[in-house]
Amino acid sequence: MIQNLDGLIEQYRSELFDSVLPFWLENSIDKEYGGYFTCLDREGKVFDTDKFIWLQGREVWMFAMLYNKVAPRKEWLDAAVKGAEFLKKHGHDGNYNFYFSTTREGEPLVEPYNIFSNTFATMAFGQLAKATGSKEYEEIALKAWNKVLERRDNPKGKWNKLHPGTRNLKNFALPMILCNLSLEIQHLLDENAFKRTTDDFLHEVCDVFIRPELGGLVMENVLSDGTLCDCFEGRHMNPGHAIEAMWFIMDLGEKLGRPELIEMAKDTAIRMAEYGWDKEFGGIYYFMDLKGCPPQELEWDQKLWWVHIETLISMIKGYRLTGDKRCLEWFERVHDYVWTHFKDAEHPEWFGYLNRRGEVLLPLKGGKWKGCFHVPRGLYQVWRTLEAIKAEGKSL
Amino acid sequence: MIQNLDGLIEQYRSELFDSVLPFWLENSIDKEYGGYFTCLDREGKVFDTDKFIWLQGREVWMFAMLYNKVAPRKEWLDAAVKGAEFLKKHGHDGNYNFYFSTTREGEPLVEPYNIFSNTFATMAFGQLAKATGSKEYEEIALKAWNKVLERRDNPKGKWNKLHPGTRNLKNFALPMILCNLSLEIQHLLDENAFKRTTDDFLHEVCDVFIRPELGGLVMENVLSDGTLCDCFEGRHMNPGHAIEAMWFIMDLGEKLGRPELIEMAKDTAIRMAEYGWDKEFGGIYYFMDLKGCPPQELEWDQKLWWVHIETLISMIKGYRLTGDKRCLEWFERVHDYVWTHFKDAEHPEWFGYLNRRGEVLLPLKGGKWKGCFHVPRGLYQVWRTLEAIKAEGKSL
């Protein structure tokens, strides 16, 4: 159960600065080749040295963001630059198409088929440009960003295995990430470009993927004409994804002064949390099927760290911005689940992968998809939002 | 526990002919567009109509094989032709590169990036050519087979996302399937071609993927020079795959009159069953990591139907061919697990996907990967092998 506001603020702040960040600073930096190790076991020991570009970019972003927003600590800037220099030299094909992965030394392993490598590189260089004032980093951020916009209609390019024309689906992930990314690099965009792209992404998320005929549920894939498709991809539901997107929308709503956006995002987040909650074992399912058919993903019932941490952020932001008590109830429910299931009582950083019952499925602290990102970003966001609630004289 | 030999023969025979085959004949045939529905729920109701080419080919093969080897029943031949005609018209790109999937109507959905679509089409048309004497089916089988051989060194072709040159891995699955496939279409190959290809595949499986320095464990991926690679793919273990391959080798050993192959395959199957067995909850893990690192596959600890059914086949064949009592012990152990966990006591066909504890994870009887194949083929193989054991005057 949630204690007083001050205690809660301290819980999130201390977990971030005294436990999680030291874990990554101590274990993840590759002093020999630059960049970061992300495959770290329960105690922080490296078990694989491949470098996954999503996670390289995200860790650069994390340390640069802390430097920009919390305190200009040299060790944070050094850590961010260590990753950015690796990405600059080894992370892309020479044309700012960022690879999916490289070897420890920086040899390309998996081609730039995945556009999110570019979105996270954009975030990384955008924040680091702010921290350093470097024109070079600014240019890399914009080049990576422009590739995202260019590739938007066929993100996988020549690696796309779908036969063109038969069933053209569009996916929620890209406009969702772009809602966040446009805010992230607003300082690099002119006002018109920011407004145009943001309106565009917001329209996609709010008018295409959120479905009034389904009571406001958020779909992951719809046909290119905006209609629903009764196929595996078309029935695929990802509650955590939808809930995460809603705090991006709340941030945009605050920035743009559009309270109706915030209200809609808060209601949608609550709806998707209710939809995704496992009433038997607790926690939010990873994937579901709109019609209750067997999903194609065998990991559908697992409980993943990022899903729950993003829910904490959306709920505490929703509460702060709207005062809706249901947000607070959801925050409490997920807070209890997270601190009793994902937090490792014996070693720093959190577990990432639990089975349906909430038991640890993989004891890793970092891997191919889990890096220095969702846990520290979530702790930061919740900590800051709780501080704002306090500063605004509200209570829990 | 295993009862007498006659009872066991009847158990496998009756399950195949009185329960599993009627399930597919009644529920899977698409009378309107041809081909098969494979996404069938617990009771056999279609929940998705997309057609996955692996499973189309495998179902053609299944009914054609029964027609050839059990009895020339018209309903089996009709069922096989129904699928073959769909595959002939809609299954490939005009050049005998078989798609991964099509819509119900036969429009291509996923491009021919997956070479196993071709291997299963080869099996399908090869068996059906035998059943019908059709030259056309024979030619399609050979064209599909030649594409497999052509594409062997880069099976994914232009859809390969690996950057060439950095880390060239080769995978166990293709030579493993080819050991079986060369026997399947032996009647279409001249003697030299059969011998040359079979020697080649056997060399790959036995001398490259089975590793003496690891006590004879079977790897899924090694570097192209044959050395091990300490990366996710290089540590990846798939006990069910290895065990399945071993009965392909036993079949080849019998055909080629090479008892040393049979002995080696039997020992390897036992070793991989011991390696993969979950000592806490029973059943064989889906995936493991050679060094005990966290695997990248979140479904690693699940218990899959095909893994266990293929183990039954390898163990009963191993027992019949070598008399090794350990095979019989393993057969009993897995037989008990399979009939109490995968067999659905209320509806025909078997569950496919259990969680680590052996509880049903997905209630489907068929899906994107589970079709009319491993369950009926396994029941057939075990039934026939038990009958041979009886005919040879051996006991259990």
Residues contacting residue B3 through CB under 8 Å, at least 6 positions apart: none
Query: Measured between CA atoms, how close is A183 to chain B, in angstroms?
Result: 31
- Residue A5: pLDDT above 70? yes
Assembly ipTM:
0.95
Q: B308 vs chain A: nearest CA distance in angstroms?
A: 17
| Cβ-defined contact of A294 to B364 (cutoff 8 Å) | yes
Question: What is the arithmetic mean of pLDDT over B105-114?
Answer: 97
Measured between beta carbons, the chain A residues lying within 8 angstroms of B371 are none
d(C-alpha A279, C-alpha A269), whole Å: 17
Cβ–Cβ < 8 Å for B345, B390: no
Q: Is B293–A48 a contact, with Cβ atoms under 8 angstroms apart? A: yes
Rounded-to-integer distance, Cα B13 and Cα A5, Å: 68
pLDDT in tens, A348-380: 999 999 999 999 999 999 999 999 999 999 999
pLDDT for the residue A84: 98
DSSP B281-314: T-SB-S-EETTSPPPS-TTTT-EEHHHHHHHHHH
* Closest chain A CA to residue B166: A109
> What percent of chain B has a predicted confidence (pLDDT) above 90?
98
> Given CA atoms B100, A98, B167, B243 in this order, what sign does their dihedral have?
negative
Residues B102, B98: Cα–Cα separation, whole Å: 10
Q: What is the pLDDT of residue A315?
A: 98
Tell me the chain A residues in contact with residue B353 when contact means C-beta distances shorter than 8 Å.
Answer: 298
- Residue A385: strand, helix, or coil: helix
pLDDT at B11: 98
Cα-based distances in Å from B301 to B237, B238, B281, B353: 12, 11, 10, 11
Show the tokens assigned to B186: 């032996």
pLDDT in tens, A49-70: 999 999 999 999 999 999 999 9
Residues of B in contact with A232 (CB under 8 A): 48, 50, 368
CA triplet B251, B223, B184: central angle to 5 degrees? 20
pLDDT above 70 for B23: yes
Distances (CA, A) of A233 to A168, A358, A367, B277: 11, 26, 26, 34
Closest chain B residue to A114, measured at CA = B161
Residue pair B372/B38 in contact by the 8 Å Cβ criterion = yes
Strands (DSSP E) found in B205-359? 210-211, 217-218, 221-223, 236-237, 288-289, 303-304, 353-354
**Residue among A110, A162, A294 minimizing CB distance to B367:** A294
In 10 A of CB A309, how many CB atoms? Answer: 24
Beta bridge partners of B350: B343
Beta-bridge mates of residue B46? B40
**Residue the block writes with tokens 């599993």:** B20
Among the partner-chain residues B158, B231, B367, the one whose CB lies closest to the CB of A158 is B158
Counting every residue written for chain A, the total comes to: 396
Average pLDDT over residues A167-188: 94
- CB B275 within 8 Å of CB B214: no
Phi–psi pair at B11, nearest 5 degrees: -60, -45
Tokens of B305: 């139907």
Query: What letter represents residue B362's amino acid?
Result: L
Once rounded to an integer, what is the mean pLDDT over residues B205-210? 96
Closest CA to A237 of A281, A273, A200, A282: A273
Distances (CA, A) of A12 to A15, A41, A376, A382, B184: 5, 23, 10, 7, 62
Mean pLDDT, rounded, for A34-48: 98
* Cα radius of gyration (chain B): 20
Reported confidence tier of residue B3, pLDDT bands at 50, 70, 90: low
For A11-22, how does the pLDDT look when each residue is reduced to its tens digit (9 = 90+)?
A: 999 999 999 999
**B346/A315 Cα distance (integer angstroms):** 43
Contact A318, A270 (CB under 8 A): yes
Hey, is A250 helix, strand or coil? helix
Q: Which amino acid is at A168?
A: N
Q: Interface of chain B against chain A, CB under 8 Å?
A: 39, 41, 47-48, 50, 99-100, 103, 107-111, 113, 158-159, 161-163, 166-167, 230-232, 291, 293-296, 298-299, 301-302, 353, 355-356, 361-364, 367-368
Alpha carbon distance B206, B245 (integer Å) = 10
- What radius of gyration, in Å, describes the C-alpha atoms of chain A? 20
CA B17 to chain centre: 20
Q: Is the pLDDT of residue B1 over 70?
A: no
Residue B238 has pLDDT above 60, yes or no: yes
CA dihedral A356, A360, A366, A368 (to 10 degrees): -50
The pLDDT of residue B109 is 98
Confidence at residue A3, expressed as pLDDT on a 0 to 100 scale = 64
| Rounded percentage of chain A residues whose pLDDT exceeds 70 | 99
Indicate the pairing of strand A169-171 with strand A51-52: unpaired
* Phi, psi angles (nearest 5°) of residue A379: -60, -40
Average the pLDDT over A149-168 and give the result.
94
Average pLDDT over residues A83-108: 98
pLDDT at B2 over 70: no
Q: pLDDT per residue over B329-383, tens digit each?
A: 999 999 999 999 999 999 999 999 999 999 999 999 999 999 999 999 999 999 9
Q: Name chain B contacts of A291, Cβ cutoff 8 Å.
A: 47
- Specify burial of residue B140 (Cβ count, 10 A radius: 0-12, 13-18, 19+): buried
Nearest partner of B115 among B177, B49, B192, judged by Cα: B177
Report the alpha-carbon distance of residue A97 to residue B64 in Å, rounded: 49
Is it the case that residue A1 has pLDDT exceeding 70? no
pLDDT tens for B117-145 read 999 999 999 999 999 999 999 999 999 99
| Phi, psi of B170, deg, nearest 5 | -120, 150
DSSP characters over B348-395: SSB--EE-TTS-EEE--SB-SS--SSHHHHHHHHHHHHHHHHHHTT--
Got the DSSP string for B91-143? SB-SSS-B-SEE-TT--EEE-S--HHHHHHHHHHHHHHHHHH--HHHHHHHHH
Read off φ and ψ for residue B315, nearest 5 degrees: -75, -40
Per the CB < 8 Å rule, is B367 touching A296?
Answer: yes
Residue A31: count other Cβ atoms within 10 Å of its Cβ: 6
Which of A197, A54, A64 is closest to A118 using CA atoms? A54
CA distances B86 to B22, B34, B116, B197, Å, are 21, 6, 18, 29
Q: Residues A109-131: what's their mean pLDDT?
A: 98
Q: What pLDDT digit, counting tens, does each position of B55-91 carry?
A: 999 999 999 999 999 999 999 999 999 999 999 999 9
Give the type of residue at B92. Answer: H
Residue B46 is classified by DSSP as E
Q: What share of chain B is helix, strand, coil (3-state, %, to 5)?
A: 55, 10, 30
For residue A281, the model assigns a pLDDT of 98
Q: If DSSP codes are grouped into helix, strand and coil, which group holds residue A58?
A: helix
For residue A3, give both structure tokens: 């204690």
- Which whole number is the average pLDDT over A161-172? 95
d(CA A290, CA B47): 12
Residues of A at the B interface, defined by Cβ within 8 angstroms:
39, 41, 47-48, 50, 99-100, 103, 107-111, 113, 158-159, 161-163, 166-167, 230-232, 291, 293-296, 298-299, 301-302, 353, 355-356, 361-364, 367-368
Please compute the mean of the pLDDT values over residues B180-199 and round it to a whole number. 94
Residue B133 burial (C-beta neighbours within 10 Å; 0-12, 13-18, 19+): exposed
Among B95, B129, B114, B122, which residue's Cα sits nearest to residue B52?
B114
Distance CA B396, CA B387 (A): 12
Q: What is the mean pLDDT of residues A249-256?
A: 96
For position B125, what pLDDT does the model report? 98
Burial of A208 (0-12, 13-18, 19+ CB in 10 A): middle
